[in-house]
Amino acid sequence: MYRWESTHHMINAERIKVMKDGAVILNFARDGIVDDRVVSEAIKTGKLYAYVCDFANGLLKDHEHVITLPHLGASTREAEDNCAAMVADEIRDYLENGNIHNAVNFPDVSLPRSGESRIVVANANTPNMVGQITTLLAEGSLNILDMLNKSRGELACTVLDVDQDVPAAVEAGLRQIEGVLNVRVIRGCRH
């Protein structure tokens, strides 16, 4: 039994009959909405020019006027399991390393860990922000071993690996910089 009875073969012989000659059908919704057998015949007779879908099957796979694309299958059990694992890995990477992947409202930031501590600063994307941050670290006698600054629209993320533990006064000073939204210190290098 077809899972979505109300849309099973919604595009069928009757509907194709009222289409203009040479029409092209695009189906990226789901398999079963289009009656592939009827579409194949309509292409052979010239009623339809082409069919594009992401549901390949034996009837359509080698047809000259059919383009089949890979179906992402985002709602399959396997895809949901893979997405859940990916999210868990990305959250873990953020918690352990401050790296950000696939955020909707933030830039992707990924920097391999080095040094004794990592400082992750979420800040406004404004001129001289990195200069203010690095100046404060220099005043606190922290040597920057590696650094990455990425922006997305009005937001930026600055990641800095330093050679020693970050003193509380430096961390507090970073929080006082105008435009700094959040400061996170990850202590201890993880190789």
Write the pLDDT tens digit of every residue in 124-178.
999 999 999 999 999 999 999 999 999 999 999 999 999 999 999 999 999 999 9
Residue 168 has a pLDDT of: 96
Question: Residue 144 belongs to a domain with what CATH number?
Answer: 3.30.70.260
Residue 73 inside a domain? The answer is no
Q: What is the 3-state secondary structure (H, E, C) of 137-169?
A: HHHCCCCEEEEEEEEECCEEEEEEEECCCCCHH
**In this structure, what DSSP letter does residue 7 have?**
G
Q: Which domain holds residue 46?
A: 5-68
Instruction: Convert the pLDDT of each residue in 37-76 to its tens digit.
Output: 999 899 999 999 998 888 767 777 777 888 877 666 666 7
Same domain, 29 and 102: no
Same domain? 118 vs 180: yes
Task: Please say which residue of 25, 40, 68 terminates a domain.
Answer: 68
Count CB-CB contacts under 10 A for residue 63.
16
Predicted local distance difference test score (pLDDT) of residue 1: 43
